[in-house]
Structure 1
Amino acid sequence: MAARRGTVVMAVVILVLTQLMFVVDTSIVNVALPDIGRELGFSSAGLSWVITAYALTFGGLILLSGKVGSVIGPRRALLLGVTVFVIASVIGGLAGSAGFLVGARALQGVGAALAAPSVMVLLMGVTTPGPQRSRAMAMFVLAVGAGAAVGLLAGGVLTQTLGWRWVMFVNAPIGVLVLLGTWRNLPEMGRRRTALDVGGAAASIVAMVALVFAFTSAADRGWTSSVVLGAFALAVVSLVVLVACERRHPHPVMPLAFFSSMRSAGPLLSMLVVPAGQVGFLFFTTLLTQQVLGFTPIQTGLALVPFTLGLIATNQLTPRLLPRLGERVIGIPGLSGLVLGIAWMALVAADAGPDTSIVTVLLPSILLGAGAGATFAPVTAVIMHQAPSEHIGAAAGLNQGLQQLGGGMGLAVLTSVLAATGGLEHGLGTTLLATAAFPLAGLILFGIWARRIPAPDTPHA
C-alpha cells in the first residue's frame, strides 16, 4: 500500500532521518569517550562497553526484530523502537555511573533493533517503482554514508561546547520529530503471522554477551579467573543451545544451512571480523588523538572525517563497478586498504608525541575509509547471492547483525590486548597492529571462499 502522493516526500524524509539517527549514534559517542571515561570512572577496558553494549543488543536482536515487525506491522515496530531509543538516550544523558550508562546504551540498541528493519520495508511501501523509488534509495544510501561523518563532527562539537551528555540528549528532539512524522505521514503495511525464533535469538545474545564479558574481564581479572572461565563456559553452553534451537525451528534466525560449507560461511565470517577492525580503529584512534596527542574533541572529529569522505567516495563508485568487474576484484583491494590503513595508523601511534602533526592521522584515515567503502558492498553481494532463496530475509538480517556483533566482540578482544601490552602509554601501537589482523582474516576468508557471481544482470545487494 503506497502513501498518497502529497505525503510521499514527507514520508521519505522521515524514514531517511530515522536511518540517519541510528547511523549517527554508532559514531557520535566515539569522540566523547575520553570525557565519559574521566567523569564516570571507566577503566580503559570498561570504556569499550559504551560501544559494545549498543552493538550487542542491536546486532543480537535484529535477527529477530524483522519478523517482529512483520507480525505487529512495520509502522508499529518503528514507533515502538524509536520510543525505546529516545527514552534510553535521555536515561544515558542523565547517567551518574558507568553501569547506568552501559545499561542505557544496551537499551538504545534494543530500540534501534526494533525499528531499523522496518525503515526499508516502509521506504519500499510508500514509494512506487521507478524514478521515485530510485531517488528515495539514493537519499537512504547518502544517509548511511554521511552518518558517520555527521556523528564524528557532531560528537566533537557537542562534547566541547555543551558536554558529553549531549551526544545522548541530542537523540531526544530528533526522535520526537521522527515519531510525530511517522504518526502523521506513514501508513501501516500488512501484517502476517510467522513463528518467532525467540529461543535462537536469546541464545545468540547470551553467547555473544558472555564472550564479550569474558574477553573484557580478562583484561582486569586475568585469564584464569573463575569469573572469566565461567563466562566462557556460559558462552559455549549458549552456542550449543543456539544450534539445537536452529535445528528444530521452522524459521530460524540463523539458518545452519549458511554454515554448511566454507564456501557459504566464508563471506559471513568475513562480515563478522571486518567490522571489528573498523570499530577498533575509530575507538583507539579517538584515544590516541585526545589522550596521547592532546587534540580537542572537535579536532578529533575533524581528523576522522576523511575516513568517512573516503568511504562515501568509494561507496558511490563501487555499485557501478561491481557488475563489470565482479565481487572479488573490488572486495580484495578494499579489504587490503583496510589492513594497510590500520597498520599505517599503528605506526603513527607507535611514534606519537607532542609534535605529531594532524596530517599523520588524516592520511591513514583516508586509506581506511576508501577500503571500507569498497568492502561492504561486494561482501554483502556475495552473501545475498549465495543464500538459499527461502532464507533471503534471514541472510539480510544476519548480514547486518554480524556487523554489529563483530564490532562489539572484536573491541572486547582488543581492549584485552591493550591492557596486556602496556595500556594507552605504551600499548596503542601494538593494539592497532592487532586490530589490522581482523580485516586481514576477512581478506583471507573472502578471497579464498567467496564464489564469483556469474550473472551480470542480477542486481547486487
Structure 2
Amino acid sequence: MSTQPLQSAGHDPGDDRVIPPGQRPAASDHSPSAQRLRYPAVIVLCLTQLILVIDNSVVNVALPQIRHALGFSATGLSWVVTSYALVFGGLVLLSGKVGSIIGPRRALLIGVSIFTVASALGGAATMPAMLIAARILQGLGAALAAPGTLVLLMSITRPGPQRARAMTVFVLAISIGAALGLLLGGLLTTSLGWEWVMFVNIPIGLVVLVGVRLLVPEAPRAPARLDVGGAVASTTGMTALVYGLINAESQGWASPPVLVSFALAIAGLLALVLIERRHAAPVVPLEFFTQMRSAAPLVAMMLIPAGQAGFLYFAALFTQNALGFTPLQTGLSVLPFSAALLVTNVLTSRLVTRLGERIVGSLGMAGLLAGLVWMSRIDAADTFAGGLLGPFVLLGLGAGLTIAPLTAVIMHQAPPAHVAAASSLNQAMQQLGGALGLAVMTTVYGSAAAGGAGEAGAIATALTAGVVFPLLALTLFATWARPTTTTH
C-alpha cells in the first residue's frame, strides 16, 4: 500500500482530481512535508467519526421527552434508535465499495451533507413518522461517510509514529463517542429540549464539510463495475442480522420476526460468499477471512464494542434506576471513563512505537476484561464511588490502549485495492458488535430480573456474561495479530 502523502507540489486539497500514483513526485522520507503530521486534516476526519458514533447515545437520553412530545407508542419509540442502527449497519459494506469507485472524499462529503440535512429534519419533526424518516436518512448518510474517514486518514499519514499519533486521535473519537453522547444528550435535553440532540449536528456537520473541502485531499479511486449481486446480498444479510440482534431481547430469540431475520441473514451472507468468489471487484473481498491473521483482528473488532456497549448501557441503568441519578448526572458519571481514556491516548502512540500493536492492544484488552469483571461484582448496596468509579477508570485505560492498535492492524494489512473494503468491514464489525453485545447481555439481564435477582443482581449477571467478549478478543488478537510498525 502506498504510504506517500497525497498532497504534493501543485495539488490543491480542495480538488477532487486524483493524480495517478505513478505520476506523483516522490517525497523524501526526510523532507518536512513527509515528516509533518497534518493535524487539522486529522482532526476534521476524527470529528466526522465522532458525530456518527455519538448519534445513538445522544438520542437515547432524550427518548422519554421524544415520546411525550411526539406521541410515540412504547414499541414505536424503539425505532428512533433502531432505524439509524439498521440502515447504518446494513449499508456500510456497500457504501465502502461506492466510496472506492467515486472517491472516499466525495463519498464522505455527500454522506455528511445527507446526515446534516437529516438532522435538521429530525429536529423539526412534529410526528413520529417524520422523526423515523429523518433517522433513516441519517443512517444512510452515516453509512456513506463512515468508510471514507479511515481511508482518508491512511492516505494522509505515513506508517510508524506519524500514523500511530493520528490513530490515537481517531480512537479517541470512537471510544469516547458513546460516553460523550450520554453527557451531551443530558445537557441538551435538560437545558434546550429534545430537538437539540438533532440540531446539534448541524453546526458540527458544516464544520466538517468546510474542513474536509479545504484540508483533506482525495485518495486514489478504484474505478470498477459495481458488484450488484454482492451489494444486494451484503445489504440484505447485514440489515437482517442487525435487525434480528436489535429485536432479539424485546421480542424473544425464538419469535417469528427474529427467526426470519436470522434466516435472511444466513441466506444473504451465504449468497455473498458464492457471488464474491467469482467477482473481480467484490464488495467484500473474501481473502480477509481466509487467513486467521486478517480474520482474527476483524472478529476482535466486533467483540470489543460488544463488551463496551453493554458496560455503558448497564452503567446508565444502574445510575438511574438504582442510584436515582438524573440523565445529566448519568452523563457526568462517565467522565472518569472518558478522562482515563484520554490520558491513555496521549501515551498510546509512543507505546505502540516502542512495543508494537500486539503487546499494547493485548494490554488494553486485558484492562477491559479486568474492568468488566470488577464491575460485574456490583450490588445494591454500592455507591457510585464504591461500585463504579474504579471499573470506569480501568475500562477507560483499557479502551485507550485497545482500539488504535486494533484498527491499525486491520487497515495496514489490507491490500492497496481493498483499503476501502477494510474500512467498511471495520465499521460493520463495530455495528454488529454493539448490537450483539446488547442483545446477549440484555437477554441475560431480563432472565435474571425475571428470576428475582433484583436490579443490581440482574445487572451483575449480565456483565458477567459480557466478560466473554473481551476475553475472546484478547485471545484472538494476542495469538494472531501481526506488527505493522518497527519497535525500538
TM-score normalized with structure 2 length: 0.78
Distance 2:81 2:284 in 1: 24
Pairing partner for 1:260 from 269, 272, 290: 290
The separation in 1 between residues aligned to 2:446 and 2:177, in whole angstroms, is 31
Which residue is equivalent to 2:380?
Answer: 352
42 and 372 in structure 1: CA distance in 2 versus 1, 3 angstrom threshold: farther
The answer to whether structure 1 residue 238 and structure 2 residue 268 are counterparts is: yes
Distance, in Å, in 2 between the alignment partners of 1:86 and 1:110 is 11
Q: Name the amino acid aligned to 2:380.
A: A
* Amino acid paired to 1:282: L
Pick closer, same or farther for the CA change 1:13–1:214 going to 2, 3 Å: closer
Establish whether residue 174 from structure 1 lines up as the match of residue 201 from structure 2. no
| Aligned mates of 1:123, 1:36 — CA distance in 2 | 36
Counterpart in 2 of 1:158?
188
Matched-pair contact (CA < 8 Å) for 2:307–2:469: yes
Unaligned runs of 5+ in 1: none
| Contact 2:293–2:482 (Cα < 8 Å) also in 1 | no
CA distance in 2, matches of 1:386, 1:9: 24
CA contact (8 A) 2:89 2:238 kept: no
In the alignment of these two chains, the number of paired residues is 450
> Against the structure 1 CA distance between its residues 111 and 304, is the aligned structure 2 distance closer, same or farther, given a 3 Å change threshold?
same
Alignment of 1:36-435 (within 5 A): 36=66, 40-42=72-74, 50-95=80-125, 101=131, 103-119=133-149, 147-148=177-178, 150-179=180-209, 193-348=223-378, 351-352=379-380, 356-358=383-385, 360-388=387-415, 390-422=417-449, 425=455, 427-435=458-466
**1:419 offset after TM fit, Å?**
2.9
In the TM superposition, residue 310 of structure 1 has moved relative to its aligned partner by 1.7
- The superposition leaves residues 68-113 of structure 1 with CA deviations (integer Å, 9 ceiling, x where unpaired) of 2343344542332122112322343355676765554343222122
What displacement does 1:199 show?
3.2
Alignment partners' CA distance in 2, 1:50 and 1:225 = 22
Cα distance per residue 1:26-68 (max 9 Å; x no partner): 542344356556774446xx87765554344334433333442
SS in 2 for 1:427: helix
User: Is the alpha carbon distance of 1:204 and 1:291 closer, same or farther for their aligned partners in structure 2, counting shifts above 3 Å?
Assistant: farther
Q: After superposing the two structures, state which structure 1 stretch, 183-192 or 147-156, moved more.
A: 183-192
Q: Which structure is higher in helix share?
A: 1
For residue 440 of structure 2, what is the amino acid of its counterpart? V
Deviates more, 1:130-139 or 1:86-95: 130-139
| Separation of aligned partners in 2, 1:387 and 1:211 | 25
Structure 2 unmatched runs, 5+ = 1-10, 15-32
SS in 1 for 2:114: helix
SS at match of 2:376: helix
User: C-alpha distance in 2, partners of 1:53/1:277?
Assistant: 22
SS in 1 for 2:282: coil
Q: CA deviation at 1:171?
A: 1.0
Letter in 1 for 2:444: V
Cα distance, 1:130 vs structure 2: 13
CA contact (8 A) 1:153 1:301 kept: yes
Change over 3 Å in CA distance of 1:311–1:166 after alignment to 2? same
Contact 1:338–1:368 under 8 Å retained in 2: yes
The answer to whether the 8 A contact 2:165-2:349 is kept is no
The CA deviation at 1:190 is: 6.9
RMSD: 3.9
CA distance in 1, matches of 2:403, 2:330: 25
Flag the 1:316–1:31 CA change in 2: closer, same or farther, 3 A. farther
Percent identity over the alignment is 55
The answer (yes or no) to whether the contact 2:104–2:218 under 8 Å persists in 1 is yes
Q: Which amino acid aligns with 1:344?
A: W
